[in-house]
Amino acid sequence: MGEHGSDPFSHTPFSLLLNPYSVLVAHDLQKRFASVHAVRSVSLQAHPGEIFGLIGPNGAGKSTTIRMLVNIIHPDSGTITYDGQPFDESVRNSIGYLAEERGLYQKSRIGETIIYFASLRGLGRNEAQQRAVRWLERFGLHGQEGRKIEELSKGNQQKVQLIITLIHEPRWLILDEPASGLDPVNQELLREILEELRADGRTILYSTHQMELAERLCTRIALINRGEVVLAGTVDAVREAHGGTTVRLEFEGDGQFLSTIPPVRSAHIDAHRADLELHEGRTLNDILPHLGTLQLSSIARVRPSLNSIFISTVGGVAEKSRGGA
């Protein structure tokens, strides 16, 4: 079995202690397209009854990873198993896959589009119609079955795609930017539905670059950048690990200059609040002399948001790359 013994996951990055008999396991996935190394050594594990977040910037390798998971493209190396078995037709029919790109027939009508895709998953027409009615009601589209897809807004087209993804009651849900096009009200509806499915024991892999949604939804995350996992763990553990160097200020005045003061590595600044991530070794006391004429109402150390961790991690990798590191 090689120099590392019989455990193929012994050197998995970030202590992702993988069990090959868990529901969905990908180990050491690699994929090249010509000279582009799109995915390099990505490993992840998604459990039943959890929402696993695959997060990262655009072009990081998330969609390529997902296409390998659902067997659209094959990895150059690495393994993918569902319940310890490789991908096969029974697995395919138990997956609800939502691609980032829309794949609806624009001239078709909503009802017949849903029924058609349900039939591809083995549902009879009567059962498909009953389930379609329930989901159309849930998404606020009941009574619009006769409208053509091209007549729908971007958000309502996304709802139809979500219905197609969910209608066969899949065991595994693999969702690539599922909130794309949805307004805040429908993003909340999507969150409620996914929480219900999670509570029902489904395995949900949720890929996004929207950090606020990921923070609210996901139990565990893997942050991919430049085709590699650069950070992984539970959301709480990730925030706790990055919490010692973040300071939150609430103030009156113009705080835009806060991103430029020497102790600050990165900053998220709103009208009257700023979250400042400090350079390693710097403390709250180091920023006090630089606050100038700001009228402070509060200052405290906080656990950073997933969004600020994302920005500092991805930005730090990019900075090292430009520097030749």
For residue 244, what pLDDT is reported?
Answer: 66
Domain 243-302 has CATH 3.30.70: yes
CA–CA gap between residue 188 and residue 197 (Å, rounded): 14
Question: For the chain, which ranges sit under pLDDT 70?
Answer: 1-22, 243-244, 316-325
Domain ranges of the chain: 13-234, 243-302
Residue positions counted in the chain = 325
The answer to whether 28 and 77 are in contact (CB under 8 A) is yes
pTM: 0.78
CATH architecture of 13-234: 3-Layer(aba) Sandwich (3.40)
User: H/E element holding 94?
Assistant: none
DSSP per-residue string spanning 242-290: TGGGEEEEEEES--GGGGGSTTEEEEEE-SSEEEEEEPTT--HHHHGGG
